[in-house]
């Protein structure tokens, strides 16, 4: 992994040709955090915001974000995703929420960008739905947690 694959010999950006690669099961897990005031989290839990059920909408937004990744990230391949699993967990002390998304497919290229985009979209949706009551929210810690499959093999973030 010493060479950037999205550039040709002259330095121009390009979509990587994956036609010669074998299909394999691919999985990527990403996560991110949105920090907020404890009362904002209480309102999310109580379904007490005018725009509706925040986590239900953020869950759908995550799936849409994963599916729309190649529309927003120029060199991403369109993929037929097999599944997108979204999990929300509260941070200690009611200081916010962690979003974790697992994306999988059977294909010639990985789904890391789809997992990262899904988390980003879910976090931004939470922000959008809660900004009327808490403009101090902060989105942090967007990261890949693990990836499985493909020629480069498995990778898991060191804790």
Max Cα distance, the chain (Å): 56
Q: Is 8 a catalytic residue?
A: no
The catalytic residue among 22, 47, 59, 128 is 128
Residues 81 and 113: their CA atoms lie apart, in Å, by 12
* CA dihedral of residues 63, 67, 120, 75 (deg, nearest 10): 170
Distance of CA 25 to the CA centre of its chain: 18
Rg (CA), the chain: 17
Strand ranges of the sheet holding 155-156, from the earlier edge strand across to the other edge: 81-90, 96-107, 24-35, 138-148, 155-156
Please give the positions annotated as active site. 128
């Amino acid at each position: 992994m010493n060479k950037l694959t999205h550039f040709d010999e002259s330095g121009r950006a390009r979509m990587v040709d994956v036609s010669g690669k074998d299909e394999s099961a691919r999985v990527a897990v990403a996560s991110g955090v949105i920090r907020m005031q404890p009362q904002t989290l209480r309102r999310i839990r109580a379904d007490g915001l005018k725009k509706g059920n925040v986590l239900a909408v953020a869950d759908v937004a995550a799936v849409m974000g994963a599916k729309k990744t190649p529309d927003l990230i120029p060199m991403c391949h369109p993929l037929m995703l097999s599944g997108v699993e979204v999990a929300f967990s509260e941070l200690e002390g009611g200081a916010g929420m962690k979003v974790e998304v697992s994306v999988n497919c059977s294909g010639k290229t990985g789904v890391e960008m789809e997992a990262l985009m899904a988390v980003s979209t879910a976090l931004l949706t939470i922000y959008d739905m809660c900004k009327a009551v808490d403009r101090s929210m902060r989105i942090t810690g967007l990261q890949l947690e693990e990836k499985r499959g493909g020629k480069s093999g498995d990778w898991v973030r060191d804790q």
